[in-house]
Every structure is written in structure tokens, then in C-alpha cells.
Amino acid sequence: MNVLEIRDLSVDYLSGSGAVHAVADVSLDLRRGEILGLAGESGSGKSTLANAVARLLRPPAAITGGSVVHHRRDGGPVDVLKLGRKELRAFRWKELAVVFQSAMNALNPVSTVGAQIDDVLRVHAPDMPRKERTERTVELLQRVGISADRRRGYPHELSGGMRQRAAIAIALALNPEIIIMDEPTTALDVVVQREILHEIKALRQEYGFAVVFITHDLSLLMEISDRIAIMYAGRVVETGSAKALHRSPSHPYTLGLLRSFPRLHGPREELLGIPGTPPDLRSLPSGCAFHPRCRFAVEECSARRPALLPGVEGQVACLLNDDKGVLR
Amino acid sequence: MRFLARRLGFYLLTAWAAVTLNFLIPRLMPGDPVELLVARMKDNVDPAAIEAMRRAFGLSDAGLWQQYLDYLGNLAHGELGRSITFFPTEVSSVIAGSLPWTVGLVGVATVISYLIGTSLGVLMAWKRGTWLDGVLPAATFMHAVPYFWVALALVFVFGVTLQWFPVSRAYGLDVTAGLTGEFAGSVLYHAVLPGVTIVVASMADRILGMRNVMVTTLGEDYVVMAEAKGLTSRRVMWAYAARNAILPNITSFALSLGFVVGGSVLTEIVFSYPGIGSMLLKGVENEDFPLMQGIFLVISLAVLVANFLADLAYLILDPRTKQ
């Protein structure tokens, strides 16, 4: 059962020298209660995709096509991109919440942590009495491991990890069905990172929300996600369960990402990495955008762009995989 | 609290320095007020009268240290010496007579200009890319135009040509000063043109300053998050964006409040307004050192007080200053 269906979504950055296709024809499903990992290098369009789904894009970015259908728990499907102003305000946070990249900047520095949970409740549940709102705030903070008296504290009085926890508590305020987490642990040290990941997993168990987890750290995704989608130059190039991707990546790019960090367990492998740099979105290579960096590229790769087709497991967009998994 | 104590200490030290400089500078200059007065009267002065005047001005041949102590003692009693221009009126009563006019006119106009300018700046940043951007070139133009030019233009159009408003004095000749409605009405009526001058001429700074900071603030993650939270635009604009963007603007506002006491000299001259600015001009014209000194002292103390108030405002508005 999908809670969010993204179909052929395209986002352009309009600039003087023409449009830059940051996200091109992306189709992606988010199942109810799953953690979907979204990985890719910087500039691959993963954050833009997330912002488009949350309708948070600002000029010069603009959605040029596609649909984002949200299936509500009780009620029919709605296209998020077609919501009016009022409906959008109601949709936001109640159905879809966002945890931003660095909680350092995502919390209002002049407002207490408690007040930042409270104003969500006040807007979306105007009938809730003050006492209940305070109780809910305390409950949320305690749930993510912040003591109740901290609600009167300001963001600068909290450590980095605490701030990220506070941001998660704010996201949970209305019990949303979808939470987009845009690199929620990137600014944290590994130990805190681990704690936060465990926390997210535990909260997911408890509340049953679905997560879109964005990061460039594939090894981290392998651990936390149910399914993973790999993006390259604005397109999804491979999707599949975390296990399948880990065991047998079908796209050369996924293989490159997996082999760019050493494994601690298992047999020794050569560190491959990915040669070259991410492409310039203003002038993408012809055919498959990855072909100049691909070690398996054949002549046809520069001529024809592969479509995202069902592969052995999940989907893959690679000519070499059109009939069979070529990498193994 | 430690922050506040430290700032208070700093301001006390600065105030002491200002007071001391105020004492030293005239004494390092050649001549004294009595010589000036005598010169004015073309030397036809009785030596006994000169001696009396020297005493009236508090001049003595005592050592510098003794003079300094006397000066501090006098200052503690609010004595700033006697004015030459308005001899034998005391400087303190000249200032007391003109300060309320200046604070009333320039102070109120500055606050109004700040409120309108800041709100406009917030709105223009929020609605950037719409027709409101058309205000920008106008604001830049007003930013570049000097005060007295605005004053002259207003006097010409609304005072002389249309004759809607009086062009000089603080209240009409036909009313007597007192706590009557008639007097208050006359004061307000006379304050319109000079007040509008100050508002118009200083508002552009506020608009541009606030807009620039606000545009930067709108790009911050916490503003995007506030939007993602589904809060109303009004709340995102004021409680999240403007609330943060206003912090860097507090200092400049406090500074301009401090200079309110100095009066808007040119505006007051154009409108013959009986404020501190006009008094300062008279003092300069008549080489009235005691008066100038007194006014400068009041200005420097006012700037210090305004800065202290800005620190207080910061302490209340920005929790990060409380360490």
C-alpha cells in the first residue's frame, strides 16, 4: 500500500542561460510505514526532489510536470501539487513533516524549543487547550530523550545531537504519515549519528510513519532503509530492497558507490570508487548521463538513454541490464 | 546579568571620559568666555565687572586639579555655567527649555520612521518580485537626498504654495503655552511639516536596511521549516523571519535615538524650531562655549544612554546574549 506515489516529476531551475533539469521524470513509490533511502552524490537532485514533494521549492526552482499523489489513511488520493493554499497548509506537518539537514539552522534561534512545538499544535489543533499542548510538548520531548524542563531552553543551549532530537520531536508533533529526513545526521559525529538512527527506527516502530531518508552515505542507508533509490543527475537509476542492492547492485553507479568505502566484515574487496566528477546539469552527456564515468560503458550508452525498467530485483536504468544483470 | 554589569561599567567609564574631555577641551583653548564678552562690549568694561563675570562663569586661577573637582561638583548639581548668548541665563535652563521640543519632534518622528520603515522593509522582502519592488528605486533616491532639501521642498509645496501648514515656529503666536487643547493642537499642527521631513528623509535607510537583512533571513532553514510546518504566512513572516532580521537593526536604531537629542539641526533651522539644534547653531554663531559644551555633554550622555537601552533590548530580544 503506497502512501505517496511520485509520477514523472520534473523540477527545473530557471536561469538566464536556460533551464537546468535538477529532477527529471522521477517516479517513485513510498510504501506505508517503510524507510525509503534516497542516495546520490551532491547535485544529484535528491534534496530538490524532497523539497518538491513538500512543495517547499522557491524560485528559481519550479515544478514543470508530474504528480505527487498522497493516499490518506482515511479518504481518497490527493495530488499534493494541486493543493490550494489552505489545503496545503493543512497537509503540511499533519500528513508530511520534514527534518532538515542541520537542526542547527532549522530551529528558530530566538524561540524556545517548546514554543516551536507549541505553534504547530496551535495552528493545526486550534481547539486544544493550553494545558494539553504543554503535556503533548513534554511527552514528545521525553519520547526523543530530552528532559521536560528543556522545553524552556533555546536551541543554542542544546548540543548538536539534542537539537536534531528536538527537530525530530517537532516533526512528530502531529503524528504525520510521512517524514522526510534530509541528511538528518550529516552534521553529527558517528556516535550521536548512531543514537539518532536507532531513535528513528524505534519511533517508526511505535508510530508507523513512512520515512524518506536522504543521504549521500550509502552504508548508512543500507543499515536503516527497507528500500533504496539511487539518483544520478536528476534521475532515479536504481531502486531495490536494501538487501538486494547490497548483495547484487545492478547499476554500475550503485556498484561504484558501494565500493567507494571499505567493508569492515567479509572478504577483502578492491576499493573502486567512481572516476570523474558529477556531471554539469546544464550540459548533460548524451544517452546515459553516467556513461563517461562508467567502466562498463559500451558504444550504445552514449546514444540511447536507458529507461527505468524492472530488473532482477527492483528497477534499474541501464542498457546492460535490459535483458540480464550484467554485473554478476 | 554579568553581561549587563559589564556593559554598565563600560558606559560609566565612557561617560566619565566624555565629561572629562568636556572639561579639558575649552581649557586647552586660548581665551575664555569673559574675554569674549569683554571684546563684544568693545572693552568698555569696569575691571570690577570683569572680576564679577569671571566668578559668574566659574573661572578661577586655581590649579587644574582643583578646577576639575569644582567642575565635577557643579555638574553633580546640574550646573553647566552661564550662556553667553542668553547671558545671564544658565546653560542648564537654556537646554531644559529647548530639549523637550527636540525630543518631542525628532524623537517621535524617529520612532514613527522606524516603525513604518521597518514594516515596509519586512513587507518588501516578503513580497519581493512583485510590484512592491518598485518602491526600491524611490527608497534609494530618498536615501541619497539630504534632510534640508526635503525640508525646503516640503516648505515650498505645502507651506508656501498650498499654504496648508505653517512653515516656522513650534506653535502659533495666538495661543499661550499651557496644558490646553488649543495649545496642543497648535503644537501638533506646527510639527507636521518638520515631522514629515524627518520621517521621509530617514525612512529610506530603515526600509533598505530591514529589507536586506530580511531577504537573507528568508533563506534560512528555520524560515523554510516554519513554512513546512504549515504556519500562516503572517506568522512565518513576523515571528520567524522578521523577529530574527530585526536584531542587527536594533543598534542602528539606538544610535539614531541617541542623536535625537542632538536635534535635527538642519530641519530645525529650516523650520525655525526652538529645539536643541537651533540653540547649538546660536551657540556656534556667538562663540558661546559654555552653551556648546553643555549641549555636547547632553548629546554624548544621550548617545550612551541610547546604546545602553539597545544592549537591554538585545538582551530581551536575543536569548543568545544571555550567557
Average pLDDT over residues A54-60: 86
Q: How far is B238 from chain A (nearest CA, A)?
A: 12
Average pLDDT over residues B123-140: 86
**Would you call A101 an interface residue with chain B, using a CB distance cutoff of 8 Å?**
yes
Average pLDDT over residues B276-299: 85
Subunit contact B229:A119, Cβ cutoff 8 A: yes
**Would you call A227 an interface residue with chain B, using a CB distance cutoff of 8 Å?**
no
Q: How far is A58 from chain B (nearest CA, A)?
A: 10
Which residues on chain B place their C-beta less than 8 Å from a C-beta of chain A? 129, 220-222, 224-232, 235, 239-240, 243-244, 247, 317-320
Q: Comparing B287 with A58, which gets the higher pLDDT?
A: A58
pLDDT above 70: residue A328: no
Residue contacts between A and B (CB atoms, under 8 Å): 76
Average pLDDT over residues A276-303: 82
pLDDT above 80: residue B264: no
**Would you call A105 an interface residue with chain B, using a CB distance cutoff of 8 Å?**
yes
Q: Comparing B241 with A303, which gets the higher pLDDT?
A: B241
Q: How far is B12 from chain A (nearest CA, A)?
A: 30
Predicted confidence band of residue B313 (pLDDT cuts 50, 70, 90): confident
**Would you call A212 an interface residue with chain B, using a CB distance cutoff of 8 Å?**
no
Q: Which of A69-73, B112-116, B142-146, B247-251 has the highest mean predicted lDDT (pLDDT)?
A: B112-116
Peptide linkage before B88 cis (omega within 30 of 0): yes
Cell of B48: 570690577
Q: Identity (one letter) of the amino acid at A276?
A: G
Write the pLDDT tens digit of every residue in A73-112.
Answer: 777 888 888 888 888 888 899 889 999 877 678 899 989 9
Q: Comparing B44 with A244, which gets the higher pLDDT?
A: A244
Which one, of B81, B115, B105, lies nearest residue B170 by Cα? B105
Subunit contact B229:A93, Cβ cutoff 8 A: yes
**Would you call A108 an interface residue with chain B, using a CB distance cutoff of 8 Å?**
yes
Average pLDDT, chain B: 84
Q: What is the 3-state secondary structure (H, E, C) of chain A?
A: CEEEEEEEEEEEEEECCEEEEEEEEEEEEEECCCEEEEECCCCCCHHHHHHHHCCCCCCCEEEEEEEEEEECCCCCEEEHHHCCHHHHHHHECCCEEEECCCHHHHCCCCCCHHHHHHHHHHHHCCCCCHHHHHHHHHHHHHHCCCCHHHHHCCHHHCCHHHHHHHHHHHHHCCCCCEEEEECCCCCCCHHHHHHHHHHHHHHHHHHCCEEEEEECCHHHHHHHCCEEEEEECCEEEEEEEHHHHHHCCCCHHHHHHHCCCCCCCCCCCCCCCCCCCCCCCCCCCCCCCCHHHCCCCCHHHHCCCCCCEECCCCEECCHHHCCCCCCC
Average pLDDT, chain A: 85
pLDDT at position A263 is: 67
Name the residue among B222, B229, B320 with its Cβ closest to that of A92.
Answer: B229
pLDDT above 50: residue A325: no
Q: By the 8 A CB rule, do B148 and B270 touch?
A: yes
Pairing of strands A235-241, A227-232: antiparallel
Average pLDDT over residues B133-144: 85
- B230 CB neighbours in chain A (<8 A) are 88-94, 120, 123-124
pLDDT above 60: residue A56: yes
**Would you call A32 an interface residue with chain B, using a CB distance cutoff of 8 Å?**
no
Q: Which of A254-263, A300-309, B36-45, B233-242 has the highest mean predicted lDDT (pLDDT)?
A: B233-242
pLDDT at position B263 is: 59
Q: Comparing B132 with B121, which gets the higher pLDDT?
A: B121
Subunit contact A56:B227, Cβ cutoff 8 A: yes
Q: How far is B322 from chain A (nearest CA, A)?
A: 10
Subunit contact B221:A102, Cβ cutoff 8 A: yes
Q: Among B128, B222, B322, which would you mutate to test the A interface (most chain A Cβ atoms within 10 Å of its Cβ)?
A: B222
Average pLDDT over residues A323-327: 48
Name the residue among B222, B230, B317 with its Cβ closest to that of A108.
Answer: B222
- Within chain B, residue ranges assigned H as helices are 2-28, 33-40, 47-56, 64-76, 91-102, 108-126, 135-144, 147-154, 181-218, 221-228, 233-235, 243-245, 247-260, 265-270, 276-285, 289-317
Buried b (16+ CB within 10 A) or exposed e, A19-38: bbbbbbbbebbbeebbbbbb
Which one, of B247, B239, B248, B322, lies nearest residue A157 by Cα? B322
pLDDT above 80: residue A324: no
Q: Identity (one letter) of the amino acid at B256?
A: S
Q: How far is A293 from chain B (nearest CA, A)?
A: 34
Subunit contact B229:A123, Cβ cutoff 8 A: yes
Q: Comparing A67 with B33, which gets the higher pLDDT?
A: A67
pLDDT at position B57 is: 67
Residues 123-182 of A with CB under 8 A from B: 123-124, 154, 156, 170
Sorted by where each starts, the structural domains of chain B and their CATH numbers stand as: 2-76 (no CATH), 99-321 (1.10.3720.10)
**Could you give the 3-state DSSP secondary structure of residue B180?**
coil
pLDDT above 50: residue B203: yes
Sorted by where each starts, the structural domains of chain A and their CATH numbers stand as: 32-55+83-232 (3.40.50.300), 249-321 (no CATH)
Subunit contact B221:A97, Cβ cutoff 8 A: no
pLDDT above 80: residue B261: no
Q: By the 8 A CB rule, do A82 and A7 touch?
A: no
Name the residue among B228, B243, B317 with its Cβ closest to that of A98.
Answer: B228
